[in-house]
Amino acid sequence: MDQVRCLIVDANPLVRNCLQEVLSAHAHMQVQGTVSGLQLAKQRILQDPPDVLVLGTKGSADGMMRFLRGLMRNLPTPVVLLVEVNSTSTALAAEALALGAVDVIEKTVQHPEEQLRTRGRMIADRIFRAAFARVTQFRDSVSAEGATGQGPPERGGHFRYGLIALGASTGGVEALGRVIQAFRCDLPPVVITQHIPEGFSELFASRLDRRVKVDVQVAAHGARAMPGHVYIAPGHAHLEVVRRSGLFWLKLQDAAPVNRHRPSVDVLFASVAEAAGSGAIVGLLTGMGEDGARGLASCRARGAHTFAQDQDSCKVFGMPRVAIEMDAVEEVLSLDQIAQRIWKLTHG
């Protein structure tokens, strides 16, 4: 596409005007229009579908979810959420990401237009890149009762591989949700870095924990990584794995961002290469950029079994593509193959 066409939906006219200025200044973006509410947005989308939708989250949470479900079922469109930093909006955004929204941009409650204008170039670039995300038709999630279970986790069980590590960025909330829902209980510890704003990781973990067979939680510093558990990096810190006395332990650190990210997938994977080596299964899922590719290469060099999500099932085939080009990937899997492949490898 020569120009990315964007529709802006936000109740605040100052925010709408500011975003229009910011996006219009981008050489390859065109603001198709601005509207104040969801009903007007529906009309505009039906008349002239945009390439990307910027959606403020003010208003009814139920109404927002109905709107997004309808959009993703009938006319899948890349959506970037504009979220105030408060618990209600954060919870809503976490649900929206699970439905298939591409990205989240945070705004302050007081004078949001000033903050958006200050960060204008970065915001315009993120919205531009979001327009190229592969958005699939929404389908209802599998419930925990429908997941494939094998009884209680084998605490301290004997697995061919002792640790599983996954990394993801754009589209990862939705992709990881599908993978984890298909996990059986009898797995070694799973550690995950997903690029996600601070505060969203807790909601992501708790939402999954209610729906799946395995135990899902935000990683805590100094905790032992247990079989049958999934640990998600918090949105404000790098997650690492260290090995002591033959066991894996979790370490959090608030060092500088790596590849512009904290948490960084490269940081996690580098620690997995060191701590687990050939005893790890390491996979890189959908996401923009290249974070995780070098770390995955380090894991493969140490003998880990490495894989990447395939292009057809990725929302954004960025990070996996770079890893494949670096020869860091042992096999390429579709999203629906990942959980079963991990189980077979650990029990082979």
Predicted pLDDT of residue 61: 82
Report percent pLDDT > 90 for the chain: 76
Cα–Cα distance for residue pair 93/80, rounded to 1 Å: 10
Catalytic residue among 291, 305, 310, 313: 291
Contact 102, 315 (CB under 8 A): yes
Residue 296 falls in which region: left (phi positive, over 0), alpha (psi -120 to 50) or beta? alpha
Query: In this predicted model, what pLDDT tens digit does every residue of 37-63 receive, in sequence order?
Result: 999 999 999 999 999 999 998 777 889
How far CA 216 is from CA of 13, 187, 231, 243, 305, in Å, comes to 40, 13, 6, 21, 23
Report percent pLDDT > 70 for the chain: 94
143 is an active site residue? no
Contact 102, 78 (CB under 8 A): yes
Q: Give the DSSP H/E element, type plus range, for residue 193.
A: strand 190-194
What is the sign, positive or negative, of the torsion defined by CA atoms of 135, 139, 141, 145?
Answer: negative
215 is an active site residue? no
Q: Is the pLDDT of residue 117 over 80?
A: yes
Over range 127-152, report the average pLDDT.
64
Q: Greater confidence, 62 or 239?
A: 239
Query: In this predicted model, what pLDDT tens digit does every residue of 143-152 receive, in sequence order?
Result: 433 343 333 3
Query: In this predicted model, what pLDDT tens digit does every residue of 240-257 receive, in sequence order?
Result: 999 999 999 999 999 999
The one-letter amino acid code at 51 reads: D
Rounded to two decimals, the pTM is 0.84
The values of phi and psi at residue 206, to 5°, are: -65, -35
Catalytic residue among 169, 264, 271, 313: 169
Over range 196-217, report the average pLDDT.
90
Over range 301-316, report the average pLDDT.
97
Contact 212, 144 (CB under 8 A): yes
Q: Greater confidence, 91 or 81?
A: 81
Query: In this predicted model, what pLDDT tens digit does every residue of 261-306 receive, in sequence order?
Result: 999 999 999 999 999 999 999 999 999 999 999 999 999 999 999 9
Catalytic residue among 26, 195, 229, 261: 195
Predicted pLDDT of residue 143: 40
Average pLDDT for the chain: 90
Q: Greater confidence, 154 or 99?
A: 99
Predicted pLDDT of residue 87: 66
Contact 307, 334 (CB under 8 A): no
Predicted pLDDT of residue 98: 84
Query: In this predicted model, what pLDDT tens digit does every residue of 72-85 receive, in sequence order?
Result: 999 999 999 998 87
2 is an active site residue? no
Confidence of residue 140 (pLDDT cuts 50, 70, 90): low
Confidence of residue 14 (pLDDT cuts 50, 70, 90): very high
Q: Is 120 exposed, middle or buried (0-12, 13-18, 19+ CB in 10 A)?
A: middle
Predicted pLDDT of residue 145: 39
Cα–Cα distance for residue pair 247/234, rounded to 1 Å: 22
How far CA 245 is from CA of 217, 249, 275, 303, in Å, comes to 24, 10, 11, 21
Q: Greater confidence, 56 or 155?
A: 56
